[in-house]
């Protein structure tokens, strides 16, 4: 093991273990070349680090919760988008003028022309034919 762990939470845990040993009843810190002031300072710094670490974790959990509230599949953003779509669709089919509909940033959907519909049907039929196996095509002309 390295002297100090690389993860922040592990450093705090390790600091707690060291402080536990150094401040244990009957342990003499001078055997390690330390003074009681060194142990007291370690205790203060450990307490500060634990508090800051706990606050950071709490803030991270709050941020995660708020992010989920906004971005989850049923979150506030999806609900807003669904409502905006409903409003846009209602405006498109309403009797309001094109200018009134455009005022909310919505344009009316173009009505399909008679020519565009058969083209889509033909394209769909062509796709369906390409998915058929050769045995479905019947006899092959030579």
Q: What is the CA radius of gyration of the chain?
A: 35
Digitized pLDDT (tens) for each residue of the chain, 142 residues in all:
468 999 999 999 999 999 999 999 999 999 999 999 999 999 999 999 999 999 999 999 999 999 999 999 999 999 999 999 999 999 999 999 999 999 999 988 666 656 555 555 555 555 555 555 555 555 555 4
Identify the burial level of 19 via C-beta atoms within 10 angstroms of its C-beta, where 0-12 means exposed, 13-18 middle and 19 or more buried: middle
Give the count of beta carbons closer than 10 Å to the beta carbon of residue 15.
19
Q: Read off the pLDDT of residues 10-43 as tens digits, 9 standing for 90 and up.
A: 999 999 999 999 999 999 999 999 999 999 999 9
The Cα 19–Cα 3 span in angstroms is 15
Which segments of the chain does DSSP mark as H helices, in order? 8-22, 36-71, 76-93, 98-102, 116-130
- Note if the pTM is more than 0.75: no
């Amino acid at each position: 093991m390295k002297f100090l762990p690389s993860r922040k939470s592990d450093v705090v845990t390790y600091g707690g273990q060291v402080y536990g040993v150094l401040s244990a009843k009957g342990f003499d810190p001078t055997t390690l070349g330390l003074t009681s002031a060194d142990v007291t300072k370690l205790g203060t710094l450990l307490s500060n680090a634990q508090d800051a670490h706990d606050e950071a974790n709490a803030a991270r959990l709050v941020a995660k919760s708020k992010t989920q509230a906004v971005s989850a599949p049923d979150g506030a953003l999806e609900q807003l988008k669904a409502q905006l779509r409903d409003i846009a669709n209602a405006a498109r089919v309403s009797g309001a003028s094109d200018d009134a509909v455009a005022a909310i940033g919505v344009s009316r959907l173009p009505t399909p022309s008679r020519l565009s519909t058969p083209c889509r049907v033909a394209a769909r039929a062509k796709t369906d034919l390409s998915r058929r196996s050769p045995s479905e095509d019947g006899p092959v002309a030579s």
